[in-house]
Amino acid sequence: MNQIAIIARLEIRRAFFSRRALWVYLLALFPAALFLGRGVSVNYDRREYAAKPATPAVVLDRLPVGTTDAAALAAAGPPLRDHTWKRAQTTHRSLHYFDGSNRVWLQFENGALKNTRRLPLNSFDQDLRVYAGVFQYFYLRLAVFFGCLGIFINLFRGEMIDKSLHYWFLAPVRREILVLGKYCAGLIAAAAIFGGGALLSFGALLSYQTAADVEPYLRMDALAHGFWYVLAAVLGCAGYGSVFLAAGLVLRNPIIPAIVMLLWESINGFLPELLQKLSVLHYLQSLCPVPAPIDPSAPPLARMILSPAAPSSVWAALLGLVALTALVLWAATRTARRLEINYGTE
Amino acid sequence: MSHDLILFDGVSKFYGEVLGVNKVDLQIPPGITSLVGPNGSGKTTLMNLMAGLIHPGRGSVFVRGISPFAPEKLMRILGYATQYDAAPRGLTGFDFVRAGLLLHGFAAAEAARRAEAAIATVALTHAAPRKIAAYSKGMRQRIRLAQAIAHDPAVLVLDEPLNGLDPLVRAETIALFRDYAARGHHVILSSHVLQEVDVFSDQVILIANGRIVAEGAIRSVREEIHEHPSQFLLQCRQPARLAALLFEQADILEARIDPAGSGLRVLTRQRAAFADAIQRIALSGVVIDGVLPMDENVDALYEYLIGGGQ
Ligand SMILES: Nc1ncnc2c1ncn2[C@@H]1O[C@H](COP(=O)(O)OP(=O)(O)OP(=O)(O)O)[C@@H](O)[C@H]1O
Ligand SMILES: [Mg+2]
């Protein structure tokens, strides 16, 4: 036990600041940057429109289809923007208004109102769904995946390349303990980086919402959602980490396990149920609090790949992931016991 | 199971197709033991087997009764300074030695104290706060030695420990070995050159092509090589004439005309004198097309040891 802590302490600096660490941080911070950027753009829009005259929504809503543009202008007053263009035989005109929280476009064809398009400055519900999508499709599938590849595969493979692995083997430490100690170091680093990244991006998502949206959310779901997102990221590190640590024990080339794992995780939806249980993503998806949006018009193949695997209950998912990680780590310790120092063929 | 011997019992190790060592049986008592042999003879392989860095394909190894498959026990009594020159990235000499001691379970203060002591023993105190990456080859060699001795192991394994040391440090290092052995410990070291180690070794193991060719106290090893007659094939067109000249000029045991007709087979114990005689005979006009050693291991080693003295 104590030895695991000593190994993890000796190893942790390297896990955080490895040669290849920079892109790991970039991956982890990407969603936070994305939502911070979105926040900046939303706030900019808000300021822009705040300075403009608002037309009450009731006025705009009262205009029935077929109203002439002249009548609309008379009822709603001068628009923010007035745009006319001609295509084929039809004259199009678009009058742009702001009703205080939505941007509204009245669209005319040949002088008659065809439809009214309304877009809120920002929709919290929609942002929550976008966040869920980014988290599942980008963060868990790619960022955590490749980040763990970078951190964990080098725990052993990196030292074989540096020809320094034998120092660990010459310590009075069981190989099993060595594997676990290194795994802990990797896990602490990965969990801090990607758990932190999840927390930051979730904070960024909430940072620019209106008080009216955020306050009820903070009272109701925010804490639970944030918790599950961070937990899913951390457990993702635990699961992928064990796999890549094991891969680093046996394979020299990091590309191979990356491709194999990525394929395995992607086709997982097609596999029989028993094999699905051997996928990290399978469990992670059940832990995400908000289902990721999926375009119903997407081709069935794409939907198969992206769609959440057969959802298990949260506790089953937690247990399953822990069991899967333990199984892989056990296999890794078995391999490490027989591992030999073989720098000769590098 | 003997608890103060290092035992190899029928140990073979292949790296894929390549022979590392073959059918090695050894019983090494405490004291200074030198493994001597040319490049690629299997010295590092034997040491790695002792330390459990590699595992035998066949046979078994025990170090003072402990199997190398149990590093948590073995490394408490074994310190190994390898031939691998690399050091962990970014560590200072002091951190490097101290990290090893922390893994031994020493408390931070005790680990620091022992690290300082070990570094002082190898006379590197001035360089301890510097990064190992910036050390010279000899300094890296010494810091590895410091790490190997820091926990005061009963078995000290050192792969070519005298390589690259200046004469002063070399003398101090040898004194350290003697000191260690005097306390009933094992000191196992390797070298290319018999003359370099025979003065201070209690025992020498000669190894060539993955086999032990001679072992024992230094004098008996010398005699063993000397007594072991070696065979040569002399390729020539006048084998009978050459045989007559050789019996006259060199101390040979036997000369037979090769049945295949390719020349003369000769058995001798005095290789150096034999080589001189061949040269004289060739200069006198007898055509000798080639001299082939027929007894690979011992001859290669002998040539090597003779050559190593130069
Ligand atoms: N990792 C390896 N892969 C393949 N062959 C190896 C490996 N390590 C050693 N060998 C082979 O095993 C044989 C013995 O090598 P070893 O390193 O034990 O020799 P050595 O006596 O230590 O040589 P040196 O004096 O050069 O250090 C050599 O033929 C070598 O090519
Ligand atoms: Mg060697």
B15 forms beta bridges with B18
- Is residue B41 classed as helix, strand or coil in its secondary structure? coil
Q: How far is A121 from chain B (nearest CA, A)?
A: 52
Positive or negative CA dihedral for B116, B120, B121, B122?
Answer: positive
Question: Same structural domain for residues A293 and A318?
Answer: yes
Cβ-Cβ contacts under 8 Å between A and B: the total is: 75
Adjacent-strand bridge partners of B216: B204
Domain match, A273 and A289 both: yes
For residue B91, is pLDDT > 60?
yes
Atom of ligand 1 nearest to the CA of B47: 18
A142 contacts: CB under 8 Å, gap ≥ 6: A27
Q: What residues contact residue B133 under an 8 Å CB cut-off, 6+ apart?
A: B87, B89, B90
Given a cut of 80, is residue A307 above it in pLDDT?
Answer: no
Tell me how close the Cα of B104 comes to any Cα of chain A, in angstroms: 6
The reported pLDDT for the residue numbered A144 is: 93
Residue B229's pLDDT is 73
Residue scoring higher pLDDT (B230 or B32): B32
Interatomic CA distance for residues B55 and A250, integer angstroms: 16
- State the total domains in chain A: 2
Answer yes or no: are the C-beta atoms of B20 and B14 closer than 8 Å: yes
Report the CATH number that the domain containing residue A56 is assigned in CATH.
3.30.1450.10
Q: Best mutation site among A342, A343, A346 for ligand 1, i.e. most ligand atoms within 8 A of its Cβ? A: A342
Give the pLDDT band of residue A1 (cuts 50, 70, 90): low
Same domain, A244 and A111: no
For the stretch A8-53, pLDDT in tens is 988 888 888 776 678 899 999 999 999 999 999 999 988 888 888 8
pLDDT above 90 covers what percent of chain B? 47
Residues 6+ apart with CB under 8 A from A204: A31, A32, A33, A34, A35, A36, A39
Contact A171 B103 (CB under 8 A): yes
Contact between A339 and A175 under an 8 Å Cβ cutoff? The reply is: yes
Q: Over the stretch A182-210, which tens digit does the pLDDT of each residue have?
A: 999 999 999 999 999 999 999 999 988 88
Measure the CA–CA gap between A321 and A315, rounded to whole angstroms. 10
Flag whether pLDDT at A310 surpasses 70.
Answer: no
Task: Tell whether A337 lies on the interface with B, counting CB pairs under 8 A.
Answer: yes
Mean of the pLDDT values across residues A168-195? Answer: 94
Query: Is residue A271 predicted with pLDDT exceeding 80?
Result: no
3-state SS class at B309: coil
Q: Which of A162, A157, A320, A171 is nearest to A246 (CA)?
A: A157
Q: Whose CA is nearest to atom 22 of ligand 1?
A: B44
At residue B309, the pLDDT reads 38
Alpha carbon B283 to its chain's center: 38
Q: Are residues A115 and A185 in the same domain?
A: no
**Is residue B295 scored above 70 in pLDDT?**
no
Of residues A2, A3, A338, nearest to B55 (C-beta): A338
Q: Which fold has domain B229-294?
A: Alpha-Beta Plaits (3.30.70)
How many Å lie between the alpha carbon of A168 and the closest alpha carbon of chain B? 8
Ligand nearest to the CA of B43: 1
Query: How many angstroms separate the CA atoms of B254 and B231, rounded?
Result: 9
**Using CA atoms, how far apart are residues A167 and B87, in angstroms rounded to an integer?**
9
Please give the class, per CATH, of domain B6-222: alpha beta
Q: Does A5 touch chain B (CB under 8 A)?
A: no
- The three-point CA angle A264-A270-A276 to 5° equals 60
- Top-ranked range on mean pLDDT: pick from A73-82, A141-150, B163-172, B294-303: A141-150
The DSSP output letter for A293 is P
> How near does any CA of chain B get to the CA of A340, in Å?
5
Across the range B25-33, mean pLDDT stands at 94
Are residues A74 and A128 located together in one domain of the fold? Answer: no
User: A105-141 burial, b if ≥16 CB within 10 A, otherwise e?
Assistant: bbebeeeebeebeeeebbebeebbebbbbbbbeebbb
Q: Measured between alpha carbons, how far is B217 from B200 in angstroms, rounded to an integer?
A: 11
Q: Could you give the 3-state DSSP secondary structure of residue B29?
A: coil
Closest-CA residue, ligand 1 atom 12, reads B20
Same domain, A96 and A128: no
Mark yes or no for CB contact A171/B104 under 8 Å. Answer: yes
What is the DSSP pairing of strand A90-98 with strand A102-109?
antiparallel
How far, in whole angstroms, is CA A133 from its chain's centroid? 7
Residue B216 has, within 13 A of its CA and on its CB side, a CA count of 9
Regarding the beta carbon of B37 and ligand 1, being less than 6 Å apart is answered yes
Nearest ligand atom owner, CA of B208? 1
Q: Which range of residues forms the domain containing residue A298?
A: 2-42+123-345
Q: How many angstroms separate the CA of residue A271 from the nearest CA in chain B?
A: 37
Residue B307's pLDDT is what?
A: 52
pLDDT at A301: 60
Which of A213-217, A254-258, A264-268, B179-183 shows the lowest mean pLDDT across its residues? Answer: A264-268
Residue A346 banded pLDDT, cuts 50, 70, 90: very low
**Using the beta-carbon criterion (under 8 Å), do B103 and A172 form an inter-chain contact?**
yes
Q: CB of A102 within 8 A of CB of A57?
A: yes
**Distance from Cα B224 to the centre of ligand 2, integer Å:** 24
SS3 state at B198 = coil
Reduced DSSP (H G I as helix, E B as strand, rest coil) percent helix, strand, coil of chain B, to 5: 40, 30, 30
Entry pTM:
0.82
Rg over alpha carbons for chain A, rounded to the nearest Å, is 27
Verify whether the Cβ–Cβ distance A342 to B73 is below 8 Å. Answer: no
Q: Is A109 helix (H, G, I), strand (E, B) or coil?
A: strand
* A174 in reach of chain B (CB within 8 A): yes
Domain ranges of chain B: 6-222, 229-294
Strand partners, B19: B14
Does residue A105 share a domain with residue A26? no
pLDDT tier, A175 (very low <50, low <70, confident <90, very high otherwise) = very high
Query: Looking at the structure, do residues A13 and A110 belong to the same domain, yes or no?
Result: no
* Residues of chain A contacting B88 with CB distance shorter than 8 Å: 159, 162, 164, 167
Query: Among the listed ranges A93-107, A292-306, B83-97, which one has the minimum average pLDDT value?
Result: A292-306
Please tell me what DSSP assigns to residue B259. T
For residues B253 and B269, is the Cβ–Cβ distance under 8 A? yes
8 A C-beta contact, residue B70 and residue A337:
no
Give the strands of the sheet with A102-109, arranged side by side.
A81-87, A90-98, A102-109, A112-120
Sign of CA dihedral B210, B211, B213, B218: positive
- B254 pLDDT band (50/70/90 cuts)? confident
Pocket flag, ligand 1, residue A340 (CB < 6 Å)? no
Q: Ion ligand 2 — residues with CB under 5 Å?
A: B 43-44, 83
Confidence at B310, pLDDT banded by 50, 70, 90: very low
* Interval B5-19 mean pLDDT: 92
CB A188 within 8 A of CB A5: no
Percent of chain A at pLDDT > 70 equals 92
Please report the pLDDT score of residue A345 as a whole number.
46
DSSP code for A298 = S
Could you tell me if A281 and A305 are in contact, meaning their C-beta atoms sit under 8 angstroms apart? no
Identify whether the C-beta of residue B39 lies closer than 8 Å to the C-beta of residue B194.
no
pLDDT at A226 exceeding the cut of 70: yes
Q: What percent of chain A has pLDDT over 90?
A: 33
Q: Which of A85, A120, A155 is the last residue of a domain?
A: A120
In a shared domain, residues A216 and A332 = yes
A171–B75 C-beta distance less than 8 A: yes
Best mutation target among A160, A167, A342 (most B Cβ atoms within 10 Å) is A167
- Of A1-5, A132-136, B100-104, B141-145, the one with minimum mean pLDDT is A1-5
Least confident of A231-245, B13-27, B173-187, B216-230: B216-230
* Ligand 1 atom at shortest distance from the alpha carbon of B48: 18
Rounded CA separation A175/A179 (Å): 6
- The residue assigned the tokens 């420990």 is B161
Q: Provide the chain B residues 84-103 that lie in CB contact (below 8 A) with chain A.
A: 84-90, 99-100, 102-103
Query: Mean pLDDT in chain B?
Result: 86
Task: Tell me the C-alpha distance between A344 and B274, whole Å.
Answer: 39
Coil/strand/helix, residue A262: helix
Pairing assessment for the beta strands B58-63 and B31-36 based on DSSP bridges: unpaired
Instruction: Please check whether residues A71 and A173 belong to one and the same domain.
Output: no
| CB-CB under 8 Å, B53 with A166 | yes
> Given this model, what pLDDT does residue B308 score?
45
Residue B7: beta bridge partners? B27, B62
Q: Do B100 and A341 touch (CB under 8 A)?
A: no
CB contact under 8 A, A162 and B89: yes
Q: How many angstroms separate the CA atoms of B52 and A169, rounded?
A: 8
Question: Which residues in chain B are closer than 8 Å to A159, comparing Cβ atoms?
Answer: 88
Asked if residue B230 has pLDDT above 70, the reply is yes
For residue B205, give the 3-state DSSP assignment: strand
For residue B10, give both structure tokens. 């029928």
Among A177-186, A202-211, B32-41, B285-294, name the most confident range: A177-186
Contacts of B55 in chain A (CB under 8 A): 338, 340
